[in-house]
Structure 1
């Protein structure tokens, strides 16, 4: 008898981050370990030293998390983690120790850093032993798993998870539109509908999705997997020609089959959550600094045509298809709203001041208010008008996928010159590349390149 599945849900809040993506229990053990070491080292020192020690504990935990050392893994091995654990813990803790004690010898700082690393390694090794044992003994400690694929690799994944319960996986469902007899013979429930992975993962309370090989084209799996971006589950993909694939620190394995983790960092990491905080702070400062220049620009726009509005408002599509009014300084002669919404690049209506505003991207400054209101982000895919979104969604592959995140003042496509009358297909590819590969550093690179483009006058 098959045990009833627990319901699943979409959760884009902090709870989703700490449920499947971060091993919060290991974080807690490391936090206690670092706190004990800090108290032992700084027990007789003043309040300032204690506060610096607390900051050191936090920084070390953050560094380890960003290195991927708190991501729940299938194959648990403290020796596999050792190189990264040594590098990140020694560098972070040693730097903080030296900073908190000006003039301290390098030898003493290195001894402290080595002590921190050794303690964290021992805690991790002991923790992994307990977790592996619990996974073997208790089915409740295993995560509900779904295998997607038609053939023998799917069968091997199922058999290996049964033979190795310490992986912590319990395969409850196989999804295949053309299952081989060997897959059916495993006894795992088989359902059709590879194009609707999200609904099946939600219905069956799936924690882990293993994607192997299907008889159809791999490209058919892109949209269904992207639809799972905000689901509280982890997705692993068996790479093609996996016999030649070497494991990297971000990968996992089931027996000898390597698995690539689908990052999905956008929307699912704590540092994505603070992207909005950065937007609000940065835009608030920018609006305060630019208040006078924007007032002067508004006066110039008004004097260029006193009978026309200073700000140009236009409906654009934001995250999830939501409509909002995007603001710009008017750079064209006004026309009826319906005409403007359906014209692609009406350059014949641009007046001399407007040409300067567009060349320098000054016309975009009012969108700082859109960012402050939450309609946009500083970095993200550029928003488009509903009329063209409808056209592109049906004619450009993966165009709709770019609306998974907030649209932006600037973006990866924009800094590569994909603005104005350029390839829509290339824009969609670049925007989706940005989402799949998002990181704090990628946002910083885009902002720096945008500033450079503005100074070069490379606007639209």
Structure 2
């Protein structure tokens, strides 16, 4: 059983990590003091970069005694010993990078504080790079090994579901589509569904009264409580039985359409409170930081794109009649309307028509110049002024016209959550292709993911990807 071997696997993992860290550090020393001097001889300008040298190696290898345990502790802090099943490759890689960057900053600060001038700072930087690479390769090799032995019937996790519900079906769907996780669902216990009923090969094998007998057999690794909403009165007793048996128990709520993927909990003097929606940008510090970046970012972009905007202004004014800048009412932060600016890309049309119609492919209202600036998103450049004035942000959900807001708020669940943050020029939905005449529901899913998972790093990632994915898009008409 996994629960008997997991602790030994974790201990082995720690020992192997210590070995990897030691090898990466030793290789870094060899690279820095054997390979680099030979490179410097060929290219002398590098001498300024690698200026610290020490004749004795004692100081470097004595530091290893501190580096290995410190990095192991950092790996624990950054959840690098969490089961591979519940941590994606991407998340694990980010955690490796964060742990190594914190380690790098810590050792740099320590050397500065103790005024150690003979230790090569470049060695610590190179070590961080080599260690990130080594740990990433090692952990991916572990993943491959675990996946391989699971296909042969080893390292499997046996799970029993208690309760037949939407949550149970969704859990089974995900497990079946990810066999590399190594989960084996033994069956379902439920009081309202007849014994023998199946869902994608998983049978209802009895009622919740059978739970005690099954637990006593000690053949399970996990219990997943997937009761339907109407059965929650039984939850406390079921949890008590599971915990008494010592089997790892998890609760999969049957209201995942209400509770977000990453619920934000608070402790009110011992009373747990789950916030229905966690919005990091309601935090005052986060709001201030994002606003500062928006101000300086918009000023920089206005200056950078001013030559392009001048040229486009001349073309728009010279090729069609009407105003240079098109102003349209949109709904922004806290449902407040504001005027969003664009270069005019269409012929002037009646107000009631432009308020209620989406643009479609080969739309006859779009001018020749407008077709180009819409396709390349240059028509959006005046929105840098919206950002500067505080109506918008560089990154956020795209704002919509009042007519469509009223329409979608009734048709699409959670649509109005997007108005808890400032709308943006670009967003997570847009760089994933959801702009123009695409699914509003999918767009809202991406917007909600952005809202609930906002970080400054996420904003910078979106801005970077916008350069490659956001300007020219097949769905921009």
> TM-score, with normalisation over the residues of structure 2?
0.47
Rg comparison, structure with higher value: 2
